[in-house]
Amino acid sequence: MGHMSKPEELLRQAACYLKPDDVSQLESAFHFSAEAHHGQFRKSGEPYVSHPLAVAEILTEWHLDAQALTAALLHDVMEDTEVTKAQIADKFGRMVADLVDGVSKLDRIEFESQEHAQAENFRKMVLAMTRDVRVILIKLADRLHNMRTLDAMHPAKRARIARETIDIYAPIANRLGLNSLFQELQELSFRHLFPVRFRVLSKALAAARGNRREVVQRMLEAIRVRLAEAGIEATVSGREKNIYSIYKKMQEKHLTFARVHDIYGFRVVVQDVPSCYVAMGALHGLYKPIPGKFKDYIAIPKTNGYQSLHTTLFGPFGMPLEVQIRTVEMHKLAEAGVASHWLYKANDAELNALQQKTHQWLQSLLEMQTQSGSSIEFLEHLKVDLFPDEVYVFTPKGRIMSLPHGATCVDFAYAVHTDIGNRCISAKVNDELVPLRTVLRNGDRVEIITAAHAKPNPAWLNYVVTGKARSHIRHFLKTMQYEESAHLGERLLNQALAALQTRHDEIPESRWTKLLKDRNAHTRQEVLADIGLGKLLAFVVARRLLQLGDHGEGESTRLPGSVVIRGSEGMALQLAKCCHPIPGDPIIGFIKKGQGLVVHTHDCPVARKTRGDPDKWLDVEWSPDINRLFAVNIRLVVSNQRGVLAKLAVEIAEGGANIDNVSLEPGDSSEYANVHFTIQVKSRPHLAVIMRGLRSIQEVIRITRLKG
């Protein structure tokens, strides 16, 4: 074995905090791993076992327990060698085997696409993570070592791994409060994704730091003296800003490097919380604070448990300097986050609170996971959930909720409780009624008003930002569409059976059972929903149930009797956008796969194109007693005079219709204008009344209903 792959260093580090028995278990795990990977090499030419060894060494920095270190040494054996989970459990215990299993890369499934494989991978990782947070810590250490040794990889693969790291792994490290790991992962990803930018910035940064070295020394000295005068025990250090955060600032604020100021950071670590505030007061006396740049994360910690005071000051020569003030405890927590639980066997309330928060977050991921249909959808929720810019708002009872940047009242409602989200109808922010799409700001007091029969609105998906809200809304809509499609499917099937002179209650149970078995469906409702969604044709199902052969070529399958449209079908029925049919229009129905029944007007040109397949066409008619409103587009050519729009609006309102939308465009000459209205009417006769009313206005030259 190469000099790189000797376990001495690992064992020495582990011996600092583990029992001798544990250390010898590690040694045997190392030999087991070395043997299993014998003959395998990394891209860099080193024996493969050097990788698991390095991962275990990273974990000793967090003082992880023997099980986790053992699992780290074995984390690739199930994947890359003949060793099975049972063998690991046998030799190192069930727990280690579970951890290895959790960390093991994907089962060898062939995925449709790279994206799909990745998404599925995260889904598994989250599942493993929720059972045991050590899985993700091993996974992060594994990723860190891979990133440190990325140079050996093919450039395309390098970019892919770096992109995935910056999108997912770095934010997870941040979410778990592992600050130094988070920064190193970001920095390494940036270096591999944009090598040229990285080089240019590093050079510029080194030069800037060099030029201002003595200024920084002077500021450090001034801060130390000032704190000592105020009688505060503190260690003060200069803090390197990482290159990636400077790059991001340049991008977001469109700054040139010369204008990015906060290259200087100072960290002040004091003994206790009151000293944090005293120290801040002392520094505000030394250099003037920049207004609005002060953040108190001690009173309101970030979701990942991070606590500090942040303030930005005007330094000498107008150089802004950023100062973080925190206690020793907070500092430990800020650097190691969740891992500090192993690092300092502290029983502090802070750590417990952090672990609970982490646990809640993992649980909420688990919930989303069970609701998102596809892994790609889940990955989308996960990404949303990882970006930690937070807004803090208050419930009416004064509880603080933290939500991601850009969160709306709907996100807040779902954060309080799923049912509140599903039933919310309006919101009050700081005691004023606001639209549900209102974006919340720091310190808002938010109250949600609910109604028992309210349900989620598909339009919410356009503006919610939290994964929880998005996945619950989607879940609800899918269920609702499924139920409504099943009702429609039942009506279509009954109609098809009637055409074959049978009633649905005359079909023996055994036929249904056979049909379900043939279709691999679990319930009747599934088959009915498929009919309603157009994935199955009603007459085909009807013939199957009656055990007639599939119909011969010449036979027509037009069904007698037509489906009555009641207007209350909800999501199972769609009125075509191309022709906007309304009650009173002659209509025709088309079964569209995955969307269910789409209704067009008889003379719709779009419908005419698809007339080719008679099986999918249905006769449909309006029910005589519909009471809901339907959208219609009308276009008017009017003479361009003052007040004409108001006249039109009054006429429409008096005719008992709502105006949904209005737009104006200049006509062929400046004397005329084209006005488009989308109005809501009950039926065709209702529309006729309104159009008659509009024609009677003298400024109206021409009026037409738009179809298409």
- The burial class, CB within 10 Å (0-12 / 13-18 / 19+), for 486 is buried
Alpha helices in 303-348 (DSSP H): 328-336, 340-343
Q: Which helix (H) or strand (E) holds 394?
A: strand 390-394
Quote the CA–CA distance of 635 and 451 in Å, as a whole number: 38
Q: Which helix (H) or strand (E) holds 324?
A: strand 320-327
**Residue 638 to residues 668, 671, 673, 681, Cα–Cα distance (Å):** 11, 9, 5, 22
- 8 Å CB contact between 702 and 674: no
**DSSP character at residue 548:** P
From 22, 61, 65, 79, the catalytic residue? 79
Quote the CA–CA distance of 557 and 492 in Å, as a whole number: 13
From 35, 80, 90, 603, the catalytic residue? 80
- 8 Å CB contact between 674 and 664: yes
Cα Rg, the chain, nearest whole Å: 33
Q: Which helix (H) or strand (E) holds 87?
A: helix 85-92
Respond yes or no: is residue 80 known to be catalytic. yes
DSSP string, 178-240: -HHHHHHHHHHHHHHHSHHHHHHHHHHHHHHHHHTHHHHHHHHHHHHHHHHHTT--EEEEEEE
**3-state DSSP assignment of residue 446:** strand
Sign of the CA dihedral 477, 478, 483, 487?
Answer: positive
Quote the CA–CA distance of 490 and 492 in Å, as a whole number: 5
The token pair at 689 is 């009344």
- 8 Å CB contact between 264 and 315: yes
Minimal CA–CA distance to 64: which of 8, 125, 137, 170? Answer: 137
336: left (phi over 0), alpha (psi -120 to 50) or beta: alpha
Respond yes or no: is residue 79 known to be catalytic. yes
Minimal CA–CA distance to 233: which of 241, 224, 242? Answer: 224
Please calculate the CA angle 357-360-366 and round it to the nearest 5 degrees. 145
- 8 Å CB contact between 45 and 4: no
Please calculate the CA angle 312-314-316 and round it to the nearest 5 degrees. 135
* Positions marked catalytic: 79-80
